[in-house]
Amino acid sequence: MNGVLIPHTPIAVDFWSLRRAGTARLFFLSHMHSDHTVGLSSTWARPLYCSPITAHLLHRHLQVSKQWIQPLEIGESHVLPLDEIGRETMTVTLLDANHCPGSVMFLFEGYFGTILYTGDFRYTPSMLKEPALTLGKQIHTLYLDNTNCNPALVLPSRQEAAHQIVQLIRKHPQHNIKIGLYNLGKESLLEQLALEFQTWVVLSPRRLELVQLLGLADVFTVEETAGRIHAVGHMEICHSNMLRWNQTHPTIAILPTSRKIHSSHPDIHIIPYSDHSSYSELCAFVAALKPCQVVPIVSRQPCGGFQDSLSPRISMPLIPDSVQQYMSSSSRKPSFLWLLERRLKRPRTQGVVFESPEVSADQSQADRDSKKTQKEKLSPWPAYLEKQPSHHPLRTKKQLFPDLYSKEWNKAVPFCESQKRVTMLTAPLGFSVPLRSTDEEFISLKTREEIGLGSPLVPLGDDDGVPEATENQSACMGHGSPPSHSSKGTPHLASEFRGLALKYLLTPVNFFQAGYSSRSFDQQVEKYHKPC
């Protein structure tokens, strides 16, 4: 990815990662090559500035909404605000980058001084005649395309490289010509070849739409057999395709690029036709501008040899207060970052928090009553199944020990100085909870049937299968309770349950403290059930 966040400013150029953009608020796109649009997609929802041709391609091929695309005319100066109140502004001028259709350089002028971002560009002396660069302005920072910034790499001019391609095609008058290109760029080369050899150039429908937008000569078509020069994707130039093409007609392929590529077939020819400046051109460009510092755009490529052409560096001015507020404004942060910040700042509750069983039961009962009528109308189950009541561990506990939920248990229990609200963690309605004993003893099936728990994680039966507590059970817990109102005989429960998990279920909620470790919680349960 080739893009920069300009320090001490809200400016981002060819940089589309909002997660990493930080304080960037103004976003600029130099051209539509894929290595400069990484992260830019149809979901983009911030103002974006570019040239008119890039604006068209951006909406057409990446489906970015037009409401966010702000096209700026090339060669004109545009004033943009640097804060939310318009107190601080900057001037941006777009200059032709001589790289691909719609590619531009950005000249920024503001409190930060003068910054020139070249993007990808091919230097020509005519660039120095641009009015924005001929007014004696001091370039403080030059962001330079250093793709070919290597003294060992000697490149011809594009005119010389185009002449090499013409001579190669002339040596193969009976051959079809396959020219491997990227999706955007070198359209003027294709036009030159068509006019030179008086033939149609066959393009894909997408590239044909582009050349029509550029207003080039009418020498392009999508008919495969109309001409001998075909523009294809650069990845199509390979050994297998060369074999296939030559089976039907003699064919040569040309890759116009300055990259070091190994030819996999004798009929694949690599010509150093480049849309990036050569090292000698970069030196001439820097020497003419004399910037205070040069910052490379491509981090993986070398960038040096310009020290003798630099002006003395100046100190960075302070960022205006209104711009600082604009850059740090939380209202302009991406929504997902704002939600993440809220979640991180949310206080966390220590330990396990329980709700009052009475409050929880009252609220859930009201919800169930309000949904009962709806459920009867909408439920796809047979009516007799809908009438089957669903049992909840909490309700089973209430039926077993009604005395524990009498009014006297609504009072505060003086077990500590500060008391907190507690909540009962419950299982889904209609299912029982499988209990395990920490003493490696499990509740027998008979005991489950006696206390009405049933089999674990199996829907329970009707209320007739859940007996209520007896006086003996209440005595075991140390509290009096009214006798059972069940019409059936109530089985006698054992006075002592050795399973610690069952003890959890039979311990009153009010007895537990809010904050505790698992060990202290077990100790509280054992303390409650310890014989007096």
pLDDT digits (tens, 9 = 90+) for 344-378: 545 544 444 444 444 445 555 555 555 555 544 44
Same domain, 191 and 283: no
pLDDT (0 to 100) of residue 75: 93
Q: Is residue 59 part of a domain?
A: yes
Q: Is residue 53 part of a domain?
A: yes
Same domain, 295 and 232: no
- Do residues 272 and 249 make contact, with C-beta atoms less than 8 angstroms apart? no
CB burial string 136-159: b at 16+ within 10 A, e below: eeebbbbbbbbbbbbeeeebbebe
pLDDT (0 to 100) of residue 499: 64
CATH of the domain at 145: 3.60.15.10
Same domain, 190 and 67: no
Its pTM surpasses 0.85 = no
User: Considering only CA atoms, which of 107, 112, 13 is closest in space to residue 320?
Assistant: 112
Which of residues 271, 288, 307 is at a domain's end?
271
Q: Is residue 184 part of a domain?
A: yes
Same domain, 63 and 130: yes
Same domain, 103 and 165: no
Please give the Cα distance from 462 to 469 (Å, whole number): 17
pLDDT (0 to 100) of residue 134: 83
Q: Is residue 486 part of a domain?
A: no
Same domain, 79 and 188: no
Sorted by sequence, the CB contacts under 8 Å of residue 333 that are 6+ apart come out as none
| HEC letters along 425-465 | CCCCCCCCCCCCCCCCCCCCHHHHHHHCCCCCCCCCCCHHH
Residues of the chain with pLDDT under 50: 331-342, 345, 348-360, 375-448, 450-497
Same domain, 214 and 313: no
What is the total count of domains within the chain?
A: 2
Same domain, 109 and 64: yes
**What residues make up the domain containing 27?**
4-151+278-327
Same domain, 147 and 163: no
Helices H, strands E: what count in the chain?
Answer: 16, 17
Please give the Cα distance from 184 to 59 (Å, whole number): 15
pLDDT (0 to 100) of residue 314: 81
Same domain, 209 and 259: yes
- Do residues 30 and 119 make contact, with C-beta atoms less than 8 angstroms apart? yes
Same domain, 191 and 97: no
